[in-house]
Amino acid sequence: MTPLSVWIDALTESTREVAVTSLGFDDISLEELLAGLPEAHTGVYLPLHTPSGPVQIALMADIPGCRSLAGALLGMDETEELGDADVADAVGEVLNIVAGSLKTRIQEHERPVQLGLPMYVVGHVFPQDDIEGMVAKVKVGAIPAELMVLRQRIPPPEAL
Amino acid sequence: MKILVVDDSKAMRMIVLRTLRQAGYGDHTLVEAGNGVEALNALRAGPYDLVLSDWNMPEMNGIELLRNVRKESIPCKFGFVTSEGTPEMRQTALDAGALFLIAKPFTVDGFKETLSSVIG
């Protein structure tokens, strides 16, 4: 089973690529790497089907952060307003592009990987005890954001 | 020339349309569809010269759309603009009759280079 650290590294690098090429930022900075769940609870989840089982990736930020990410994708300036549906759609597309890049980066470890459709979530996530996760706290340009990988923990062989 | 842009994301349709204009294709007729079903209905009512389609979409995905277009012998050139660009997907696309696959993130120059060989 591919370690979560490999997943989160690949997700961070894919986000860096998309931030520079599609969002117009110079770079992203990795602030902190944490085991567990993110503090922010607004953002987009996207399911991946992998040979090791289902994996969820997420791009999360506060609501102004999501608006800024959406505006960056659409090439809008700070004064232009986006509706909630447009923000959800655009941030979903950001993660969709990230997921495409991630699929290429992770194929040495997980192949084939199938991408699901992104879903914008505002609220808390309460995973079950057998779900494990890792979070990378990053800044996309100046926007604080969190990247997350979630998956079901595989029980040790003696427990099977 | 009439070009159909198919993507379930309104944001991405906007970006593809903007990129087409920046690449010099703004004088063509650009039409949008939100998924494969909408696109197939538009193509049946056609004619369209070129389809630029996402792959992952609800209702009917891009490869199903392409297979339906070929099955119904609807005449049009077809290419993918999608977030996935693995060799397997490129081969699947070509085998189904696509002319190209542009992987996101893409650039104006990348669009120009690919489309110039298809629509001049």
- Summarize pLDDT for A130-143 with one digit per residue, the tens: 889 999 999 999 99
Is B45 an 8 Å CB contact of chain A? Answer: no
**Amino acid letter at B69?**
V
Residue A157 reports pLDDT greater than 90: no
Residue A158 reports pLDDT greater than 70: no
d(CA A53, CA A152): 8
What lies within 8 Å, CB to CB, of A102 at 6+ separation is A10, A11, A14, A48, A57
Q: Which residues of B fall within a CB distance of 8 Å from A89?
A: 9-11
Measure CB to CB from residue B56 to each of A73, A86, A117 and give the nearest one: A117
Measure CB to CB from residue A89 to each of B11, B57, B103 and give the nearest one: B11
d(CA B73, CA B17): 26
- Cα torsion for B14, B15, B17, B19, to the nearest 10°? 160
pLDDT (tens digit, 9 = 90+) per residue, A21-44?
889 999 999 999 998 876 667 899
Is B14 an 8 Å CB contact of chain A? Answer: yes
Is B10 an 8 Å CB contact of chain A? Answer: yes
Is B87 an 8 Å CB contact of chain A? Answer: no
End-to-end CA distance of chain B: 11
d(CA B39, CA B55): 13
Do A100 and B11 make contact, defined as CB atoms within 8 angstroms?
no
pLDDT (tens digit, 9 = 90+) per residue, B43-90?
999 899 999 999 989 899 999 999 999 999 999 999 999 988 888 889
Q: What is this structure's pTM? A: 0.88
What lies within 8 Å, CB to CB, of B10 at 6+ separation is A86, A89, B34
Do A74 and B58 make contact, defined as CB atoms within 8 angstroms?
no
Is B8 an 8 Å CB contact of chain A? Answer: yes
